[in-house]
Amino acid sequence: MLITVANSCGVPSRSASAVNLACELAGIDQHSCDRWQSTYKVILSDADPLSAILNYYSSGEHLPVSCEFRPLEDSNVDRWIQQVLTVSATVDYYLVMLNTPAPPAVPSALFGASDLVIILCSASDPDLAATAALVGLIRTVRLERKTTGPKCLLVPTCSCGGVNTGDWNEDTLRQFGEQMRPKLVECTAFEDAYRNRRWIGDFAWNSAAHKEIKALAMSVNAQIHDSETSRDR
């Protein structure tokens, strides 16, 4: 299953959210000394040539998922997509972190190959404009594929500290006509886990932040299940 986690530069804790989601999708049932016995095989891939997020977890001992740095450049998009599809076929979940803005050919090609695109959103006007552009690309890809895919899930993300942003996610994101889930508000906890090179399920098992990631993982799986059901009809 190929999942793209896309966001703009203004979204708080965007990389930490992607890391924590990948770890939750691995299916760790309980926090124990044998905590890395995952149910599912997951690879988290960083497509940003300028990103160092996965280098921070380079030892690999703190995460229940495999990590790779696979920068995507406009000049080799087709080859890159083929490599991703080859690897993703060997695992249960392959998540690609894509920071925007990027050359249009990059997200367009990646969305075209993805089963699900998760867009992390903030309430600022520039980020909402970026969200609109990403949703527009997804709809273009759907027309080209002549299917309902890729699925899209909008995830509103609050500023660090859990500051209440009101009902902007309900009123503003609904206009895009895509599925959305309750906002992530525990960004401070995600950042604390990141500074300790751990994921939130290891750093603060069953905390409010961990429950948020669990709920997001459930939404992701619900979207994927709906997508597979649609293909089977």
CATH number of the domain bearing residue 142: 3.40.50.300
DSSP state letters, 35-78 = TT--SS-EEEEE--TT--TGGGGTT-TT-SSEEEE----GGGHH
**What does each C-alpha distance from 150 to 76, 136, 153, 200, 226 come to in angstroms?**
22, 12, 10, 28, 11
Instruction: Name the residue range of residue 199's domain.
Output: 2-232
At 186-224, the pLDDT tens digits run 888 988 888 888 889 889 988 999 999 999 999 999 988
Whether the Cβ atoms of residue 109 and residue 96 lie closer than 8 Å to each other = no
Q: Nearest 5 degrees, angle CA 78-CA 49-CA 91?
A: 60
**Strand bridging mode 42-46 / 116-121:** unpaired
User: What pLDDT was estimated at residue 116?
Assistant: 96
The predicted structure's pLDDT at residue 164 = 46
pLDDT of residue 178: 93
CA gap 170, 137 in Å, rounded:
22
Tally the domains of the chain: 1
What is the model's pLDDT at position 13? 66
Q: Give mean pLDDT in consecutive 10-residue pieces for the chain, a chain of 233 residues.
A: 82 77 86 66 85 61 81 78 93 90 78 93 82 91 86 82 49 86 84 85 91 94 72 44
